[in-house]
Amino acid sequence: MKRMLLTISYDGTAYHGWQVQPNGITVQETVQNALCGLIGVRPALTGCSRTDAGVHARKFCCHFDCDDKFPEKAFLRGLDSLLPPDIAVRDCAEVPPDFHARYSAKGKTYCYYILNSRCRDPFAARYSWKIEQELDADKMNTFCSGLVGRHDFAAFSSAGRSVEDTVRTVSECTVTRSGDTVILKVTADGFLYNMVRIITGTAVGVSFGKIPPDATRDIINSKNRAAAGDTAPPQGLFLEEIYY
């Protein structure tokens, strides 16, 4: 047996997130089905994170164990040909047997895309949150800069989280504007349930004057979800990078 690390990208629009669940098709089971078609057995497949329904990944890693006889190329070409157009194989490589797609990750980068425009954009509709009222990227940045560091992010986590330890280290949290697109980028050693979507919703609340830009520390210290802003919708969120 050998352990393989599979790197994929996917458009999450049609999926109920990564993890197999009873009420809808997921990315995990779709990849498992394709793997089963290729190697004849349905391997356990462990993902680097559990992205929500409608969230996208430009880079997503998962590991599985398989017989030594299957070459990497079979996964790159064969698996890719068995996957639907909205999931693509980017890479496949053997890793040490103790490597773990989730626990070996040192960090991840997410980007949240906001279309800040009066007009709809048919090409961005599935990949952004459309907000008509003009956003103030400077105000959002002031709020976001306060998140950088090692903090208890319980206030930025939805109920339903599976972890008890809510302390994470955010190394980067910036807001930039490129034309009509406002991009919130966060890098951290780990993320809590809905953390980026709550950070984004709160930053938008700051831009609209509902929350003071310097309230970041107060919200963190409250450890209270109600102190933060709304949860931004899923379709603007992209897992961009995973660091091992």
Measured from the CB of residue 114, what is the shortest distance to a second copy in angstroms? 17
**Per rule CB under 8 A, is residue 88 in the interface with a second copy?**
yes
Point out the catalytic residue in the list 11, 52, 98, 121: 52
Distance, in Å, from the CA atom of 90 to the CA atom of 71, rounded to the nearest integer, reads: 15
Burial of 44 (0-12, 13-18, 19+ CB in 10 A): exposed
**Per rule CB under 8 A, is residue 132 in the interface with a second copy?**
no
CB 62 within 8 Å of CB 45:
yes
Distance, in Å, from the CA atom of 99 to the CA atom of 44, rounded to the nearest integer, reads: 14
Q: For residues 85 and 160, which CB has a smaller minimum distance to a second copy in the complex?
A: 85
Contacting residue, 1, 41, 44, 119, with a second copy by CB under 8 A? 119
Here the tokens at position 150 are 């090692």
Contacting residue, 65, 67, 121, 132, with a second copy by CB under 8 A? 121
Site string for a second copy, 157-196 (x = CB under 8 A): ----------------------------------------
Backbone φ and ψ for 190, nearest 5 degrees, come out as: -175, 165
Distance, in Å, from the CA atom of 95 to the CA atom of 64, rounded to the nearest integer, reads: 10
- Residue 230 known to be catalytic: no
**Per rule CB under 8 A, is residue 102 in the interface with a second copy?**
no
Contacting residue, 127, 143, 153, 156, with a second copy by CB under 8 A? 127
Please enumerate in sequence order all residues whose Cβ is within 8 A of that of 221, keeping only pairs 6 or more positions apart, or say none.
Answer: none
Picking from 125, 118, 101, 110, the residue whose alpha carbon sits closest to that of residue 244 is: 101
**Per rule CB under 8 A, is residue 90 in the interface with a second copy?**
yes
Residues annotated catalytic, as ranges: 52
Q: Which residues of the shown chain bind a second copy in the complex (CB under 8 A)?
A: 9-11, 56, 58, 80, 85-90, 119-123, 125, 127
